[in-house]
Amino acid sequence: MPDITRWKNIVESCLSRYGRKISPDDRLDLMQDMYVAILQADEQIQKLDGFEAPKFVIKLCRSLIQERAKPRHEPADSIDNPEVAGAIEKAGEVSDAERSRVEMVRAAVGQLPEPERTLIRGIFYEDQTEMELAQHLGQSVAWVRKTKILALKKIENLLVKEN
């Protein structure tokens, strides 16, 4: 098992420098998440030279802090849920044009390859963070960001073709 105690000073320094918006209650959780992320990235860290490894760990910790500091909200009720869709319809809150746009977007997302579809659904329908999706998909956060941009461009192209 890798020795993560050597990163203790960096983790604490990152928390004090970048984690000011994190509530005291969340600090311990965040610190644990940082150590888990460091353990998961240990192979990558081992490949880096003496100067690059601490920089990598700092970036990793900063990205976790930034993700945690983002204001979170509960996922909105999905229009895919028949009860929600029925309630909205009864309330008359969705016009036919809006419903048509939702269906067009849903169809476009359905045409994406599986990893992109999972990513877009996770971000926009399930309110998952890029970090959560990266871990779920076994990819880097950079891959998630790049793939999200590419997937959104594909959706845009599909929607333009339909109109």
Give all domains of the chain, ordered by start, each with its CATH number: 4-69 (no CATH), 82-162 (1.20.140.160)
Region at 85 (left for phi over 0; alpha for psi -120 to 50; beta for the rest):
alpha
Regions of the chain short of the pLDDT cut 50: 73-77, 79, 88
pLDDT of residue 74: 45
- DSSP conformation letters of 85-137: HHHHHHHT-S-HHHHHHHHHHHHHHHTS-HHHHHHHIIIIIS---HHHHHHHH
Tokens 């000073």, residue located? 9
pLDDT of residue 73: 46
∠ at Cα 107 (122, 129), nearest 5°? 10
pLDDT of residue 95: 67
∠ at Cα 119 (155, 154), nearest 5°? 15
pLDDT of residue 54: 86
pLDDT of residue 78: 53
Cα distance between residue 117 and residue 114, in whole Å: 5
- Please, are residues 65 and 15 in contact by the beta-carbon 8 Å criterion? yes
DSSP-derived 3-state class of residue 76: coil
pLDDT of residue 61: 83
Tokens encoding 158: 């599909």
Helix (H) or strand (E) run with residue 132 in it = helix 130-137
